[in-house]
Amino acid sequence: MSEPALTKRGRPGYDQRAILEVAVAAFNEFGYDATSMGVLATRLGLSKSAIYHHFSSKEELLEQALDEALDGLEGVLLEQSAQVGPVIDRLAAVLRGAVEVLTSRLPYVTLLLRVRGNTDVERAALARRRAFDRSVSALVVEARDEGSLRGDIDPRIVTRLLFGMVNSIVEWYRPEGPEDAGQLASDVLAVALDGLRVSTRSTGLDRLDHR
């Protein structure tokens, strides 16, 4: 969180970013509908008008929070690693990038994953999320056509299972916990692309610890 800055009146204050962080934490804890601007003001130790100085409405807070998650995910698709090279490697780069966005912008992605489409802002966010999913599905189809990804599973199911695995990370990942985000991304790729099974052909070494 940003360091509280001194306001014009000399009291410790919050910049726009810090207000957004506190709001997102409250939305995740109590639910968006149950969090009023009054509750936010109390949490921040600010007057409501001080919040309105930065955000025109609660919905603008939500919109900026969802943008933070969606801009991150969409940015992954625009990286060179997602645009150039064998499609299976591009798909891997997108999965790794999605895990990185999820872990580095955890509260924002958590909020995004709970959106159900009750307002225009939520529906716009869902539309962007669906467009992201379609881009990933298109990569899955391309990787099949390239011959690098198995062809016996419906690409929509593949995409859903992959993002089911990736998105579930918000349920338990904590930045201060023992799991390194980069290692976690590698683990997701290892499971998703290569699977957990050790094929019998590759276990040529006898396990000496079982003497």
Q: Does 46 bind a second copy (CB under 8 A)?
A: no
In 3-state terms, what secondary structure has residue 53?
helix
Which residues between 115 and 174 bind a second copy (CB under 8 A)? 143, 147-150, 152-154, 157-158, 160-169, 171-172
- Whether the CB-CB separation of 82 and 73 falls below 8 Å is answered with no
Minimum CB distance to a second copy smaller for 77 or for 184: 184
Question: For a second copy, which stretch binds (CB under 8 A), given 56-64, 70-78, 118-126, 180-188?
Answer: 180-188
Minimum CB distance to a second copy smaller for 51 or for 149: 149
DSSP 151-179: SSS-HHHHHHHHHHHHHGGGGT--TTSS-
- Whether the CB-CB separation of 139 and 79 falls below 8 Å is answered with no
Amino acid at 138: A
- CB of residue 182 to a second copy, shortest distance in Å: 13
Q: What does the block give as tokens for 36?
A: 């009023």
Angle of CA points 173, 176, 182, to nearest 5°: 60
- CB of residue 137 to a second copy, shortest distance in Å: 13
Which positions touch a second copy (CB under 8 A)? 88, 143, 147-150, 152-154, 157-158, 160-169, 171-172, 179, 184, 187-188, 190-198, 203, 207
